[in-house]
Amino acid sequence: MGDQAEKSQEPKPESKPGIDFGAIFGSKNNPGDARLSPPAAGTAASDQLHVPTRDTTAKPADQVAQVKDTPATPLDVRIENRAIILSINDKDFDAKLIGAAKTWPKDFDKLKLTDIPPGVKVNYWQDPKGLFVWFEGGQDHGKKHYLPGNLTSIELPTQSKTVEAIRIDVNRNYAQATFSNLQSFDRNFNPSNDAGINSIKYFGRIAGIADDALLKQEQVLRDAAKTSDNPYYKLYLADVLTAAAVKPVLNDFLRTGTADLNNPTTLRKLDEAISLLDAAYRDSNGKLREVNHYPRANVYSPLMPGVPYWSASRYPNDYFGFYAGVYDQSMARQASLKVIRDHIKLGTFPKFELPPSLPPRF
């Protein structure tokens, strides 16, 4: 995907070490659903908090870290400065993380990992159950540790990364490993010139992956689109849904050599994809309106999901590139999908070359 910034872009902060991505896991080693014991009846909220005895005379009051422990519970949970602190070697890692998220979801939004020995890598991936972290070379042999929804960042001894950035990286790497990456549309995808043929080929390539891989990507993107206001998830999900719409058509060709384009599954998926693209367009349009700056009409802004987009004042070029990419790409995809849908409904679908493993039967 094109995710380079404009040539005039201001210098970015120093880049951080890249993330190592592991293989997609199976269903083993899912974390348990162990929970923290609730406070005893009649325990006041103030009794659940305490500040350890320490010399604070040299520090301003607002710099004194408040530490939260569970009162007389089997598991002690340490929370300081809105970060839950966990050793990667803690046998109760999952119980503490998930239990604390259920008990005190508003009291922490960071996960601070400690006791990471040399040679152990902190990796991130996702499956239909959600985003998880795993420790390559760690004592738990690659166990999945699912991240609760209240987390916004993960702190390591050498770096800090937002959960949002991790999810974007994971989705892009999954897409690249699975179906040759999600692509930026340009003028070659203009349906007024090619009747939607290039976009059909693009979605056909995505649809060529295994059914379970396509379904897995749809599930994780649905979850991301629900829990994040990042419009790129809507756009990525629209691509996957369009591929799912094309999938039964390609499967029919494989089995019988013919296919019914005007089938309910294909049309339903296409309509949902168009609706998602419209929502992504409206999201980006609102952000661009706030800074009164839009991309030029004769330019297809590329997808730029990995840039620091959260501050229009501090990172103006990245902010603009991030939302301009969604703005232009959602419009380009909508135009192509509407043409494809109309061709299907009217029975005027154009002839095009299917992927190499399939005969050109249109």
Residue 357 burial (10 A CB sphere; 0-12, 13-18, 19+): exposed
Q: What are 106-143's pLDDT values in tens digits?
A: 999 999 999 999 999 999 987 777 889 999 999 998 99
Q: Is 266 in contact with 298 (CB distance < 8 Å)? A: no
CA 192, chain centre distance (Å): 32
Q: What percentage of the chain has pLDDT greater than the value 70?
A: 69
CA 173, chain centre distance (Å): 10
Residue 340 has pLDDT above 60, yes or no: yes
Alpha-carbon distance 146 to 126, whole Å? 9
Alpha-carbon distance 82 to 76, whole Å? 16
- Tell me the helices (H) and strands (E) count for the chain, helix number first: 8, 10
Among residues 35, 228, 211, 28, the alpha carbon closest in space to that of 129 is found at 28
Q: What are 277-335's pLDDT values in tens digits?
A: 999 999 999 999 998 999 988 889 998 876 667 677 888 888 899 999 999 999 999 99
Mean pLDDT of 205-226: 82
DSSP state of 20: B
30 to each of 112, 129, 329, how far by Cα in Å?
Answer: 21, 9, 37
96-100 contacts, C-beta under 8 A, 24 or more apart: 96/36, 97/145, 97/147, 97/148, 98/31, 98/33, 98/34, 98/35, 98/146, 98/148, 99/34, 99/35, 99/36, 99/75, 100/36
* pLDDT number for residue 18: 32
19 to each of 83, 194, 215, how far by Cα in Å?
Answer: 21, 39, 25
Alpha-carbon distance 147 to 28, whole Å? 17
Alpha-carbon distance 90 to 113, whole Å? 10
Q: Which of 62-71, 88-97, 112-121, 165-174 has the lowest mean pLDDT?
A: 62-71
* pLDDT number for residue 48: 32
Q: Is 301 in contact with 206 (CB distance < 8 Å)? A: no
Q: What are 236-280's pLDDT values in tens digits?
A: 899 999 988 888 777 776 677 666 777 788 889 999 999 999 999
162 to each of 115, 131, 154, 296, 310, how far by Cα in Å?
Answer: 20, 13, 6, 31, 12
Give the torsion sign (CA, 20, 210, 212, 352): positive
